[in-house]
Amino acid sequence: MQKKYLIGNWKMYKTVQEAIIFMQQLLPQLQAIDTRPLALSIAPSFVHLSTIAALIDDYKSIQLVAQNCHHETEGAFTGEVSAAMLAAIGVGGVLIGHSERRSYQKEDNLLLAKKIKRVLEVGMQPLLCCGESLEARRSGRHKAMVQQQLLESLVGLTPKEIEQLGIAYEPVWAIGTGQVASLEVIIEMHTLIREILSDQCEGAKVPILYGGSCNAQNVKAIFDAPNVAGGLIGSASLKVDQFMKIVIALLGKDGTGHR
Ligand code: PEP
């Protein structure tokens, strides 16, 4: 069975001390259950990656994901972090084009295509985020918007390269709002994304994740939906007990599926 992705996106939260305490509390709880059905990752701030890498060194079933990287390999780009720097400290994947970066840093699809290339070049998995705004959904342009995001961000990639990606469908109106997308919407959009990918490569190989107000109550039904390979968890990944409730909702108390 394919492992389900479960990625905690910490955004710009937690000092390094808070991050250490979180991991010190989380790891023993994960070790007590069988987490093999999950591909678990934490996406902390850049400055915590090395510290957390050292903490999870003995615990191979949790991976590190970065929240961003620069689109050039190296150079005079003060304040930036390259894909190679991330790969060198054991990061396995990079979020590309999270809606907060599209909105606040004005990242566009063509820039994201370059970032994806850099991430692939150093052997990490790009996790390309896409998703429509509330305005696009209200005006019925949601499918066109997601299609454009995907096609423009995949420009210049070979089918084999596209098969290395993960896609996260995260409707902007569902992120951090408590307004989770309905199963109907999730299934419809994931099916669309699968179709778009299948025109570009062997689409079935690309995991499609959902993100937007997932919590312990709704996560199991979402992750079990067709074409959903797991999800990105923002707010509900910030507290150990809430994050563990999500893990237990997916796996059961002992990892066997029994609750
Ligand atoms: C996210 O930011 O990727 C996310 C899914 O956030 P939240 O779970 O808080 O909606």
- Of all residues in the chain, what percent carry a pLDDT higher than 70? 98
Question: What is the distance between the alpha carbons of residues 209 and 166, in angstroms, rounded to a whole number?
Answer: 7
The closest of 74, 85, 75 to 46, measured between CA atoms, is 85
138 φ/ψ angles, rounded to the nearest 5 degrees: -65, -35
Cβ of 250 less than 6 Å from ligand 1: no
Element (H, E) at 64: strand 62-66
Residue identifier of the C-alpha nearest atom 7 of ligand 1? 234
pLDDT of residue 256: 58
Please state the atom number of ligand 1 nearest to the C-alpha of residue 232: 5
Cβ of 255 less than 6 Å from ligand 1: no
57 φ/ψ angles, rounded to the nearest 5 degrees: -55, -40
Q: Which two tokens stand for residue 16?
A: 């390094």
Catalytic-labelled residue, pool 48, 70, 71, 98: 98
* Site of tokens 């990105």: 232
Q: How close is the Cα of 234 to the center of ligand 1, in Å?
A: 3
The residue type found at 198 is S
Average pLDDT over residues 177-204: 97
Across 52-66, 77-91, 93-107, least confident range: 52-66
Q: How close is the Cα of 193 to the center of ligand 1, in Å?
A: 19
Strand partners, 232: 7, 211
Please state the atom number of ligand 1 nearest to the C-alpha of residue 174: 10
Q: How close is the Cα of 233 to the center of ligand 1, in Å?
A: 5
Higher pLDDT, 189 or 257: 189
Helix orientation angle between 142-153 and 109-121, rounded to the nearest 10 degrees = 40
Tens of pLDDT, residue by residue over 147-188, are 999 999 999 999 999 999 999 999 999 999 999 999 999 999
Cβ of 252 less than 6 Å from ligand 1: no
Q: Which two tokens stand for residue 142?
A: 């949601």
- Of all residues in the chain, what percent carry a pLDDT higher than 90? 94
Q: How close is the Cα of 75 to the center of ligand 1, in Å?
A: 32
Residue identifier of the C-alpha nearest atom 1 of ligand 1? 234
Helix orientation angle between 142-153 and 183-200, rounded to the nearest 10 degrees = 40
Average pLDDT over residues 133-159: 98
pLDDT of residue 259: 47
48 is catalytic: no
Please state the atom number of ligand 1 nearest to the C-alpha of residue 215: 8
Please, what's the b/e burial string for 11-33 (b: 16 or more CB within 10 A of its CB; e: otherwise)? Answer: beebeeeebbebbeebbeebeeb
Cβ of 37 less than 6 Å from ligand 1: no
Q: How close is the Cα of 101 to the center of ligand 1, in Å?
A: 13
Question: What is the distance between the alpha carbons of residues 48 and 89, in angstroms, rounded to a whole number?
Answer: 11
The closest of 255, 188, 172 to 228, measured between CA atoms, is 188
170 is catalytic: yes
Please state the atom number of ligand 1 nearest to the C-alpha of residue 233: 8
Cβ of 211 less than 6 Å from ligand 1: yes
Residues 6 or more apart whose CB falls under 8 angstroms from that of 79 comprise none
Average pLDDT over all residues of the chain: 96
Tens of pLDDT, residue by residue over 239-256, are 999 999 999 999 987 665
Q: How close is the Cα of 12 to the center of ligand 1, in Å?
A: 12
